[in-house]
């Protein structure tokens, strides 16, 4: 529930509400605004408890949170969350562009593509060191050596780096090298991993599961936030439907829905969302039009030789064209506001 304090509520009155919440087993989250303080209480509420809080001095009103997700909800936190990833802020109205190959395949190749995406306008660098693959015989990533290369590329280009985390036991290792930890679609409901990421000081990029509903996706974010880490970025990457021409069906309705239901920033991955490089730019443009805070795109020097996801990877020149279009559309949309 949310307790809205009166405009001139005294410090002692606010402290009293906080103490009472803790006495009744609620987790307390304070939001101190310019004009008033809003106190969020996460726990088991009853009508009697709500009535009791309404009688406390300084309380203007008590509002129940009707959504099953509490801390991620827009009701709980009306202001949008801004997530800092290295020197980049996600959710502040700017358009972030995360780019790089699906996997870190080698030092020379990765440093080369990192330089090319930086030159084209990328604001963050992606690359997989641990690769969850459908087949156990497919390339699984360079593991810690891949993380070292990723971190080196980040230092050379000045771009924050993003990479996937698959196992709670690897969090400490990946945190040493990455600026943001990505939860892949296959691990969206790996609740042990989500809880452990809630203890991390690094922001988390949470991809939507291939068969996940909007509510299930937000509830996965709730696991991370309720465990102590508020820095979650949602990533729409397509869902599985009856359509077979594309790899997935990119659900762009999720972008405004996430922004209405939650205070979390959301980015879109048109590479996995379509599986076809020719569709990446038009769907990236559509994602910008839907109001996303950024896009994530796979880029490779020679997609036909990529160790994974070659058919959906752009060449550097194609990525440069995409960035130009995305920036122009984002600028035009902001000019109209």
Torsion of CA 196, 84, 81, 131, to 10 degrees: -50
Q: pLDDT tens digits for 70-106? A: 899 998 888 899 999 999 999 999 999 999 999 999 9
| Residue indicated by tokens 């008033």 | 36
Q: 180 with 85: CB under 8 angstroms?
A: yes
- Which residues have a Cβ under 8 Å from the Cβ of 155 and sit 6 or more positions away? none
Radius of gyration (C-alpha) of the chain in whole angstroms: 21
Coil/strand/helix, residue 259: helix
Q: How far is CA 334 from the centre of its chain?
A: 22
pLDDT at 127: 96
**Nearest-10 Cα torsion for 85, 89, 94, 99:** -10
> Could you report the per-residue pLDDT of 162-179, keeping only the tens digit for each?
999 999 999 999 999 999
What SS3 state is found at 41?
strand
Cβ atoms 127, 161 nearer than 8 A: yes
| E runs forming strands in 69-112 | 83-85, 88-90, 96-100
Q: Are 167 and 133 in contact (CB under 8 A)?
A: no
Which domains does the chain possess? 2-63 (3.30.70.1140), 83-336 (3.20.20.70)
What is the C-alpha to C-alpha distance for residues 253 and 62, in angstroms, rounded to an integer? Answer: 32
Beta carbons of 246 and 272 less than 8 angstroms apart:
no
Checking if the pLDDT of 200 tops 80, the result is yes
Task: Indicate the pLDDT class of residue 291, thresholds 50, 70 and 90.
Answer: very high
CA 267/CA 95 separation, integer angstroms: 9
Looking at residue 313, the DSSP 8-state letter turns out to be P
Indicate if the pLDDT at residue 336 is higher than 70: no
The owner of tokens 């599985």 is: 240
Task: Quote the mean pLDDT of the chain.
Answer: 94
pLDDT digits (tens, 9 = 90+) for 42-77: 888 888 899 999 999 999 999 888 888 989 999 888
Neighbour-count burial for 253-285, b at 16+ CB within 10 Å, e otherwise: ebbebbbebbbbbbbbbbbbbbbebebbbebbb
Name the pTM for this structure.
0.90
27 has which bridge partners?
Answer: 42
Helical ranges in the chain per DSSP H = 11-23, 47-54, 107-120, 144-157, 171-177, 191-197, 214-226, 254-261, 270-274, 277-290, 316-336
Q: How confident is the model at residue 337 (pLDDT cuts 50, 70, 90)?
A: low
Q: Please report, rounded to a whole number, the percentage of residues in the chain having pLDDT higher than 90.
A: 83
Q: Quick: pLDDT tens for 178-197.
A: 999 999 999 999 999 999 99
Reading across the β-sheet that carries 37-42, which strands appear in turn? 27-32, 37-42, 2-5, 59-63
User: Which of 121, 90, 125, 124 lies closest to 293, judged by CA?
Assistant: 90
Which structure tokens are listed for 226? 């309720």
Neighbours of 10 (CB within 10 A): 12
């Amino acid at each position: 529930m949310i307790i809205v304090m009166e405009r001139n509520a005294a410090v002692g009155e606010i402290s009293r509400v906080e103490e009472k919440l803790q006495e009744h087993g609620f987790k307390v989250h304070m939001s101190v605004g310019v004009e008033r303080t809003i106190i969020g209480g996460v726990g088991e509420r009853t009508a009697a408890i709500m009535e009791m809080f309404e009688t406390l001095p300084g309380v203007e009103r008590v509002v129940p949170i009707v959504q099953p997700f509490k801390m991620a909800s827009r009701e709980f936190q009306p202001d949008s969350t801004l997530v800092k990833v290295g020197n980049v802020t996600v959710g502040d109205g700017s358009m972030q562009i995360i780019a790089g190959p699906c996997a870190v395949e080698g030092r020379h190749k990765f440093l080369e593509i990192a330089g090319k995406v930086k030159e084209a306008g990328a604001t963050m660098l992606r690359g997989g060191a641990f690769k969850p693959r459908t087949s156990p015989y497919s390339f699984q990533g360079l593991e810690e050596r891949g993380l070292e290369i990723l971190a080196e590329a980040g230092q050379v280009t000045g771009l924050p780096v993003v990479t996937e985390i698959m196992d709670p036991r690897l969090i400490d290792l990946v945190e040493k090298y990455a600026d943001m930890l990505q939860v892949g679609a296959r691990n969206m409901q790996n609740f042990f991993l989500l809880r452990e990421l809630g203890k991390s000081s690094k922001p988390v990029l949470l991809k939507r599961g291939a068969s996940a509903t909007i509510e299930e996706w937000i509830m996965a974010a709730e696991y991370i936030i309720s465990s102590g880490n508020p820095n979650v970025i949602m990533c729409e990457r397509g869902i599985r439907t009856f359509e077979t021409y594309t790899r997935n069906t990119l659900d762009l309705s999720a972008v405004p829905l996430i922004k209405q239901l939650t205070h979390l920033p959301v980015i879109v991955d048109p590479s996995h969302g379509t599986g076809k490089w020719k569709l990446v730019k038009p769907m990236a443009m559509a994602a910008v039009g839907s109001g996303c805070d950024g896009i994530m795109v796979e880029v490779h020097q020679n997609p036909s030789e990529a160790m994974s996801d070659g058919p959906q990877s752009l060449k550097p020149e194609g990525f440069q064209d995409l960035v130009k279009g995305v920036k122009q559309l984002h600028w035009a949309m902001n000019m109209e506001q």
